[in-house]
Amino acid sequence: MFFDLETRELLRTRPNPIPPGQAKHLRGVRPVGPPPRPSVEPISVQRGASNTGVITVCSQRVAPGRVHRHQTVTIHVSETTWPLN
């Protein structure tokens, strides 16, 4: 997991490449801290719209319309909504 050291906010997760049996043999291992907190606020991302006004966010295609074609669109991604700016 990747998280902000100051706020403990979770930024990204990746699978652990080390099998559980080998983890106990590592040198310099430190005990874990408190679990990271997921972000409460929406995350802002920017995407460039295609010729037809389609953008891709979180592996999902969204079509805000041709009025946004060839523009950079800011999207606030939350758990249930994606409002555009």
Q: Is the pLDDT of residue 84 over 70?
A: no
What local confidence, expressed as pLDDT, does residue 85 receive?
61
pLDDT digits (tens, 9 = 90+) for 24-81: 778 887 767 777 676 677 788 888 999 998 988 878 888 888 888 899 988 888 777 6
What local confidence, expressed as pLDDT, does residue 3 receive?
73
| 68 Cα distance to chain centroid | 23
Q: Is the pTM of this model over 0.85?
A: no
CA distance 18 to 48: 37
Checking phi first, is residue 64 left (phi over 0); if not, alpha (psi -120 to 50) or beta?
alpha
Residue spans per domain, the chain: 2-77
What local confidence, expressed as pLDDT, does residue 1 receive?
64
